[in-house]
Amino acid sequence: MKGPAIEIVGLGHKYNDILVLHDVDLSIDRGEIFGFLGHNGAGKTTTVNILTTLIRPTLGRALVNGHDVATERRLVTADIGYLPSEVRMYPHMTATENLTFFAELSGVEKAKHAVAETLEYLDCSDLADRRVGSFSTGMRQRIGIAQAIVHRPSVLFLDEPTAGLDPSGIRQLRRTILDLNRDLGMTVFMNTHQLSEVSRVCTTIGVLSRGELIYKDSMEATTRRFPDETSLEDIYVQMEGSPA
Amino acid sequence: MITTVTSQQLLSLRRQRVFLAALSMFVAMTAAAGVLGWSSHNTIVRVYDEAVKLLAADGQPTPPNPFLLKPELSLLSNMVVYVPLLGALLALLLGHLSLTDDESTGLGRLIFSRRVSRTGYAVGKIAAAAIALSVIVLVAMAVSVVSLMVVNQRIPPISVLGRLGLFYSMSWLYLMLFALVGMAAALLNRRRSLALLSAMGAWLVITFAIPQFTSALRPTSSLNPIADPVGSSQRFFQITALARPISIAEQYKAASGQILSTAAPEPGWQTALRVVPLMVFVGLLVAAVVILVRRHDFSRSGNGE
């Protein structure tokens, strides 16, 4: 496939006449790990909802792998994985049953085999036959990632993936994201508040403020551009104060 | 994809304790109807046998066994009450559970970020409810057949089994109506508790309020509780009488009375006509659930409870 993994042009969205996303232009190359930063209500989740075809944009257009999210829903969803901020699955079903369901929904042939392979890849085969209702937040997160990648998508959307995780869970998630990017070549689009995660994992960052994209550059260029700041948090605060 | 949604839903229902508890209660009530029928039959027959002996000793003629005068299926007349009360509640719960898991837990987001068509999803869920209700109805029918065999000490004739099949088929359709009401309520209310409450509100209206309005309010109905009370000259009752054909609960009971032969006989076409509004409502609700699923904003699922 050629062209960027994600391309957003003049994207806007209104909820009950309130503009929550305004004229966003963004392009993310294949194989990037993109960190999407912004305060609560900035419009990050709305952007992910649009990119995962859950809602239609009010203005502009968004392409994933060259396919329009509004008009080519089936083509877009065939090649994306999505992990929402709070992972809940069917609690009375086992991890394998849940994952098989999602694999079959994505049209995976030999779904059970794909599930076993994914669980092994994520090093959580021990959870396969346990009911999800008995899982801790960290275990649920791992199974959540498994459902997002069981059909081997090329683009993975993670919405606040570290929410509710303890430090070891966060470390494990970080490792997983890097592995998925390296081993499977997945492009990762990650909404987050965890600035430390962004600096350790992401290759590119974007900052959304009040529905507008105020900054986008590579992690390397960002740290070069703000050499005096001691942490990404300072950079973020500075960006919010002075749009680029 | 429809089969994936259907089989997941059936597996999910099989594992849900609330649903299993409601199902057990329904089957228990069906069995209880049989036991009560058998018990009263047994008592009356024993009294009859004693009376026959006494009358024969006095040289008096003996009357025929009262059960020979009653239709065989009258034993199950309680089912006509259990289906609209317990069965409909069970169906509501089934419809409610079919969608609230996906809606209130945020699973809807995951599902619709997949290659899933909304119509296919809705059809899959409706098909699962239809299959689950078929199983429930078949179990209830099997219990009824066993009850008839025990009471009459013979295998019910084909004609009786046919009527029983017809009654349970109509009951299945009646229960589908409530399963669809449960689904529609779940799609219209984001909060799980509100969805269940509004579905129960609809059940109350269909089961009690509308029949009260269309028939039971009439002064003669308390004295003469028949399906179609005698005509009234008062305009109010003339208007309410016009609404009677769409009083689903009343029509279900009246048609059941005909099928089980427990009511005064009427022409077959008239009974068939009673089922038409039920079929129309079920059809309309299927369309409504599909449209609601297509329009529903699943990106907000998980914000309910």
Cβ-contact A233, A226 below 8 angstroms: no
Pairing, β A212-218 against β A204-209: antiparallel
| Digit-coded pLDDT (tens) for A21-57 | 889 999 999 999 999 988 888 888 899 999 999 888 8
pLDDT of residue A39: 82
Check pLDDT > 90 for residue A200: no
Is the pLDDT at A73 greater than 80? The verdict is yes
Task: Say whether B260 sits in a helix, a strand or coil.
Answer: coil
How far is Cα A127 from Cα A131, in angstroms, rounded to an integer?
8
pLDDT at B230: 55
At CB < 8 Å, which residues of chain A contact B?
49, 52-55, 74, 77-78, 80, 82, 84, 86, 88-90, 92-93, 97, 101-102, 104-107, 147, 157
Instruction: Provide CB contacts within 8 A for A57, sequence distance 6+.
Output: A11, A12, A13, A21, A50, A69, A70
Q: At what angle do helices B268-295 and B118-152 cross, to 10 degrees?
A: 150
Percent of chain A beyond pLDDT 70? 94
The answer as to CATH 3.40.50.200 being correct for domain A1-63+71-79+154-244 is no
pLDDT at B219: 58
Q: What's residue B305's pLDDT?
A: 46
Distance CA A3, CA A24 (A): 19
pLDDT at A244: 45
Q: What is the pLDDT of residue B283?
A: 92
- The closest alpha carbon to A204, from A190, A214, A184, belongs to A190
Q: How high is the pLDDT of residue A52? A: 92
Are B94 and B181 contacting, i.e. CB atoms less than 8 angstroms apart? no
Q: Which residue has the tokens 């169906």?
A: B91
Handedness of CA B185, B186, B190, B194 (dihedral sign): positive
* Chain B residues lying within 8 Å of A52, measured CB to CB: 109, 113
Q: How far apart are CA B73 and CA B156, in angstroms?
A: 10
- CB-CB: which of B15, B113, B297 is closest to A82? B113
B→A interface, C-beta within 8 Å: 1, 4-5, 8, 11-12, 15-16, 101, 105-107, 109-117, 297-299, 302
pLDDT score of B226: 52
Q: Which residue of B lies nearest to A83 if distances are taken between CA atoms?
A: B110
Lowest mean pLDDT, pick from A67-76, A139-148, B143-152: B143-152
Q: Taking the domains of chain B in order of start, what are their residue ranges?
A: 2-300
Which tokens hold the place of A16? Answer: 């009950």
Q: Which amino acid is at A148?
A: A
- How far apart CA A146 and CA A150 sit, in angstroms, is 6
| Sequence letter at residue B294 | R
- Smallest Cβ–Cβ distance between B115 and the set A49, A77, A89 belongs to A77
The encoded tokens of residue B125 equal 């869920």
On whether ipTM exceeds 0.85, the answer is no
> Tokens representing B217?
């309010």
B49 by Cβ neighbours in 10 Å (0-12 / 13-18 / 19+) ranks as exposed
Task: Give CA–CA dist A68/A51, Å, rounded.
Answer: 9
Per-residue pLDDT of chain B (305 residues; tens, 9 = 90+): 889 999 999 998 888 887 788 778 888 888 887 787 778 778 888 888 888 888 888 888 888 877 777 777 877 777 888 888 888 998 999 999 888 888 777 788 889 888 888 999 999 999 999 999 999 899 888 988 888 888 778 888 898 899 999 999 999 999 999 999 999 999 998 888 899 999 999 999 998 888 887 776 655 555 554 555 555 666 777 777 777 888 888 889 888 888 888 777 878 787 888 888 889 899 999 999 998 888 887 777 665 44
CB contact under 8 A, B115 and A93: no
User: What is the per-residue pLDDT for A242?
Assistant: 57
Per-residue pLDDT tens digits for A166-192: 888 888 888 888 988 998 889 999 998
The per-residue pLDDT for B228 is 54
Chain A contact set for B4 (CB, 8 A): 101, 104-105
Give residue A231's pLDDT band: very low, low, confident or very high (50, 70, 90): low
Q: What is the pLDDT of residue B192?
A: 86
Report, as an integer, the average pLDDT of A127-146. 89
Give chain A's mean pLDDT: 87
For chain A, where do the domains classified as CATH 3.40.50.300 start and end? Answer: 1-63+71-79+154-244
Closest Cβ opposite residue B113 in set A77, A92, A104: A77
* Chain A closest-CA separation from residue B98 CA (Å): 12
- Three-state SS letters, chain A: CCCCCEEEEEEEEEECCEEEEEEEEEEECCCCEEEEEECCCCCHHHHHHHHCCCCCCCEEEEEECCEECCCCHHHHHHCEEEECCCCCCCCCCEHHHHHHHHHHHCCCCCHHHHHHHHHHHCCCHHHCCCEHHHCCHHHHHHHHHHHHHCCCCCEEEEECCCCCCCHHHHHHHHHHHHHHHHHCCCEEEEEECCHHHHHHHCCEEEEEECCEEEEEEEHHHHHHHCCCCCCHHHHHHHHHHCCC
For residues A159, A163, A166, A172, the Cα torsion angle rounded to the nearest 10 degrees is: 0
